[in-house]
Amino acid sequence: MTNRVRKAIFPVAGLGTRLLPATKSIPKEMITVVDRPLIQYAVDEAREAGIEQLIFITGRGKSSLVDYFDSAFELEEKMRGKGKSLEVLDSSRAGYGELISVRQQEPLGLGHAVWCARDIIGDEPFAVILPDDLMVGKPGALKQMVDVWENVGGNLIAGEEVAADMTGSYGIVTPGKQDGAVTEVRGLIEKPAPDVAPSRLAVIGRYILQPEVMAALGTVGRGAGGEIQLTDALAAMIGKQPFNALNVDAQRHDCGDRAGFVIANIVLALDRPDVGGKVRDFIAGLSPRP
């Protein structure tokens, strides 16, 4: 058994109904923020954290996600012929053996999607990255988690304080001891109404998990919304293994949601030397709403 996190699961088989009609034929992870699809940001973050194997859990209509990380022979030949640099394509290519895709045949929930990778994970700790949560931080969110996990071990989830009226959209932590940005997880509940939520500490889309979580996923059955919930399997690990939440030092954009996507585009564009100036000038020229 290794104590390095080498493998990351990217569950990308969801239907993305909040982004219809675009997601009728484009996976939400292929929608662009500035000039790169959402999945590229997640993969870059994983690589920065030392991940060597990217495991995509895909479903119907999601093959463009795997194609995106392939080499594009004709395109590259044509670009070479025209003397154009191929550097722009570098990060969109997976190395040999770096990318594995597994099919989730029915969208039975995030927990089920993760469970689909059980044979590839084997007995190693692993990361889970939800690409919809675009995290902007230096170092990246997963790298921050790996650094902390090397000390605390066990299961480590990324947490964020959310507004009181938002608890119903997240898994919420019952907090224990706190040590700086690390909070012990004493309990976990999926999407509690604000009046019964044990805190405002929400689970966001980054996890480092022990392989035993896979066995728990195999037994939890369907939970909230009739789906197999990752939160339920994680709750079953409490008391058996160290379990903590890390408040990562990064800005999160929820790109599973229309407004989040638009905001991510604006924020990331403003930060880009090639387009930031134009976008800033345009925003500065907008008249205030009457």
Q: How far apart are CA 197 and CA 58, in angstroms?
A: 32
> Shortest approach of ligand UTP to residue 116 CB, angstroms?
8
Q: Which is nearer to ligand UTP, 107 or 137 (CB)?
A: 107
Angstrom CA distances, 185 to 148, 165, 179, stand at 15, 21, 12
The DSSP bridge partners found for residue 129 are: 206
Q: Which of 22, 102, 108, 152 binds ligand UTP (CB under 6 A)?
A: 108
Per rule CB under 6 A, is residue 17 in the interface with ligand UTP? yes
> Shortest approach of ligand UTP to residue 58 CB, angstroms?
8
Q: Which of 9, 12, 157, 204 binds ligand UTP (CB under 6 A)?
A: 12
Binding-site residue total for ligand UTP (CB under 6 A)? 19
Give the distance, in angstroms, between the CA of residue 214 and the centroid of all CA atoms in the same chain: 18
> Shortest approach of ligand UTP to residue 99 CB, angstroms?
16
Q: How far apart are CA 237 and CA 188, in angstroms?
A: 10
Q: How far apart are CA 223 and CA 205, in angstroms?
A: 19
Structure tokens at 174: 């019952």
**Residues 6 or more apart whose Cβ sits within 8 Å of residue 107:** 13, 14, 15, 59, 113
> Shortest approach of ligand UTP to residue 117 CB, angstroms?
11
Residue nearest to ligand UTP (CB): 14
Per rule CB under 6 A, is residue 199 in the interface with ligand UTP? no
Per rule CB under 6 A, is residue 13 in the interface with ligand UTP? yes
Q: Is the Cβ–Cβ distance between 191 and 171 less than 8 Å?
A: yes
Q: Which of 110, 146, 148, 172 binds ligand UTP (CB under 6 A)?
A: 110
> Shortest approach of ligand UTP to residue 258 CB, angstroms?
10
Per rule CB under 6 A, is residue 37 in the interface with ligand UTP? no
